[in-house]
Structure 1
Amino acid sequence: MSVAEDSSMLVIILDVNPVWWGQRRLRGEASLSHCLDSALVFANCYLASSRRRHLAFLACGQRDSRFLYPTRSTSGLEQDAVQESRDGRLELLSTLDDTVVREAVAMLARVEVTADMTTGSLTAGALAKALCYINRMRKQDQVHGGEMKGRIVLLAACEEAQYMNLMNVAFTAEKQDVCVDVCALGSESSLLQQVSGLTGGLYLRVPEQESLLQYLQWVFLSEPDVRRRLLLPRPSRSDARPACFCHRQLLDIAYVCSVCLSIFCTFSPICSTCETAFHLALPPSLRGRKRKKGGSLKTA
């Protein structure tokens, strides 16, 4: 008697920040279109490997994040479609490729490039949308008596600036048993290393973006429950130090607000996050001093 295969859900998130990719293009490095093509081939391999696998594709930028697939026009397409398109591809894979490219072009066309644009992206918002979508698909699968496994693969280009939002998303993914894999396209990110470590995922910085597809298929195509049997790159040492909310610097010793748990590198009598005023007692060396009329301090 054969055991029924559990369904799985993969959400791919691609950072399409035009400022970051434009700077890379000026230096003659890999373009956004090359990265998108590699991600689509990776998505096709994932869907073609099993009829019980489902996929969603998100893009995040500096000001927004949105679903590229599925859309309203493709939401009714069955995941087990086997019809072939004109070029010989399966209808599902052909629809996935065409829809993602069309929606990505439309998203970038609406971006207004201004002088104040930075290379930061709304990674935390995209992760939150992915978790909500996985939770909704799980509930639909439970109606039919199934159990769906969820996983997220983040193709991160820019460093996430919203530390609190990113940590909240990481703890939520850990609670929902959703693995978050991080494929860093830019510099090393200690925050994203913490996210992948908390959720039991893999973190890998791609040294050469021209070989992105090989890294995606070799490292991130396998499910978390079979990775222990594979020879994968050793995880890099994660820096678990918190980052301050004021300068985004990693700290060994910090000041923490007792109300909202915000972290700061220097003491402030008023929390800049929740605006709580702290009434602290004076140190013992200053308690006995009294101010004279001239303004000087005198020990009692």
Structure 2
Amino acid sequence: MTENVRSQLIVILDTNPVWWGQKPSSHTKAQQKMTLTECLDSVMVFAHSHLMMNHSNKLAVIAAHSDQSVFLYPKNVPPTPDLPDSDGVAEVNDGKYELFNQVDKQIEEGVKSLIENCMNGQLYPESLIAGALTMALCYINKTEKSHEESGILSSRILVIKGSEDNTEQYMNLMNAVFTAQKQNVVIDACVLDNDSGLLQQACDITGGIYLKIPQMKGLLQYLLWVFLPDPLERPKLTLPPKVQVDYRAACFCHRNLIDVGYVCSVCLSIFCAFSPICGTCQTTFKIFGPSKGVKKKSKKPG
């Protein structure tokens, strides 16, 4: 990587209390499901490592919760501060660099606030990954414009997800994915439990890495090995092979993944069953009956 190219990492962390609080399944028991606190510890060490790779690297962390997506770091979405030079680094009482301490404190306080606020509210088993991706892309667009004069800012998104996919987010997520592709933003996915067909598509479309980790306790090792290197450096490394991507689409009527469906020729909505009226754009289609066979003239005997 050239000196005038800096790396910006946006981490989207699945903080859904339903998934983190549920009892581990038989498959999960075999690999010892980790707690949210342990996951946060690994994410914060990973964030520190990213900032140490280059003093001008940027960082942001977004929580994908069950009912909202919020920035954990930085607060109020200001430009991420640069890591000070070694001569000017201030230390706090526990010996941490000031920036590292700021990152840890804001992430911990943000997650704690999310958990406390959802105790009295309604909980949902899915996380708002699509909303978090949209927030990340808006933040990337803002920071890249504000740093145009100081060199190229290479941005990427890492999604750390444990909860199951929500097919109702299919259209919103695909819109965010194609926007990321247009902005040359790579989307990586680190999946903790069940495979995610939606994130497989997102990684394949944007040129990112999709990895379902075999052992949750080794989360930090996988983050540092696979997702710490910038996409420009990855061709030089030996990384896990690409997975086979499930490109099935979700129907707009029931939000189920389908193999064969009906597509509206006007708005390109997908349906699992035929309907003469599109449920999205209300276009009415003419239904033509089977064409009548043309009777052949019988030849008269000569």
Point out where structure 1 has 5 or more consecutive residues left out of the alignment. 287-300
Alpha-carbon distance in 1 for matches of 2:280, 2:66: 22
Is residue 161 of structure 2 the alignment partner of residue 192 of structure 1? no
Is residue 202 of structure 2 the alignment partner of residue 202 of structure 1? no
Alpha-carbon distance in 2 for matches of 1:14, 1:246: 29
Alpha-carbon distance in 2 for matches of 1:41, 1:88: 15
Alpha-carbon distance in 1 for matches of 2:252, 2:96: 49
> Which residue in 2 is equivalent to 1:295?
none
1:47-58 → structure 2 map (5 Å cutoff): 47-58=51-62
TM-score (norm 1): 0.87
Counterparts in 2 of 1:136 and 1:24: CA distance versus 1, 3 Å: farther
Question: Could you report, residue by residue, the CA deviation over 1:15-44 in whole angstroms, capped at 9, with x for unpaired residues?
Answer: 111111111469672111111111111001
Is residue 109 of structure 2 the alignment partner of residue 138 of structure 1? no
Q: Work out whether residues 157 and 186 of structure 1, in 8 Å CA contact, stay in contact via their aligned partners in 2.
A: yes
Alpha-carbon distance in 2 for matches of 1:78, 1:117: 34
Alpha-carbon distance in 2 for matches of 1:189, 1:80: 34
Alignment partner of 1:168 out of 171, 175, 180: 175
* SS of equivalent residue, structure 1 residue 204: strand
Question: Could you report, residue by residue, the CA deviation over 1:41-85 in whole angstroms, capped at 9, with x for unpaired residues?
Answer: 10011111210100001001121000000014x947732232111
1:1-300 → structure 2 map (5 Å cutoff): 4-24=3-23, 29-72=33-76, 75=78, 78-81=81-84, 82-112=89-119, 117-142=123-148, 144-158=149-163, 159-161=165-167, 162-274=169-281, 276-284=282-290
Counterparts in 2 of 1:273 and 1:121: CA distance versus 1, 3 Å: farther
Alignment: residue pair count: 281
* SS of equivalent residue, structure 1 residue 224: coil
Letter of the 1:156 counterpart: K
Alpha-carbon distance in 1 for matches of 2:266, 2:155: 33
Question: Could you report, residue by residue, the CA deviation over 1:149-199 in whole angstroms, capped at 9, with x for unpaired residues?
Answer: 100000012213311111100000000000000011121111110000100
Deviation at 1:201, TM superposition (A): 0.3
Counterparts in 2 of 1:146 and 1:76: CA distance versus 1, 3 Å: closer
Deviation at 1:145, TM superposition (A): 3.8
Deviation at 1:285, TM superposition (A): 6.6
Aligned-CA RMSD value: 2.2
Counterparts in 2 of 1:24 and 1:260: CA distance versus 1, 3 Å: farther
Q: Work out whether residues 161 and 192 of structure 2, in 8 Å CA contact, stay in contact via their aligned partners in 1.
A: yes
Letter of the 1:80 counterpart: L
* SS of equivalent residue, structure 1 residue 236: coil
Letter of the 1:179 counterpart: V
Deviation at 1:112, TM superposition (A): 4.2
* SS of equivalent residue, structure 1 residue 132: helix
Alpha-carbon distance in 2 for matches of 1:18, 1:99: 19
Counterparts in 2 of 1:227 and 1:76: CA distance versus 1, 3 Å: closer
Alpha-carbon distance in 1 for matches of 2:194, 2:252: 21
Point out where structure 2 has 5 or more consecutive residues left out of the alignment. 293-302
| Range moving further from structure 2, 258-267 or 172-181 | 258-267
* SS of equivalent residue, structure 1 residue 7: strand
TM-score (norm 2): 0.87
Alpha-carbon distance in 1 for matches of 2:154, 2:41: 26
Q: Work out whether residues 153 and 182 of structure 1, in 8 Å CA contact, stay in contact via their aligned partners in 2.
A: yes
Letter of the 2:217 counterpart: E
The percent identity for this pair of structures is 44
Alpha-carbon distance in 1 for matches of 2:222, 2:273: 41
Q: Which has the higher contact order (CA 8 A, sep 6+)?
A: 2
Q: Work out whether residues 182 and 196 of structure 1, in 8 Å CA contact, stay in contact via their aligned partners in 2.
A: yes
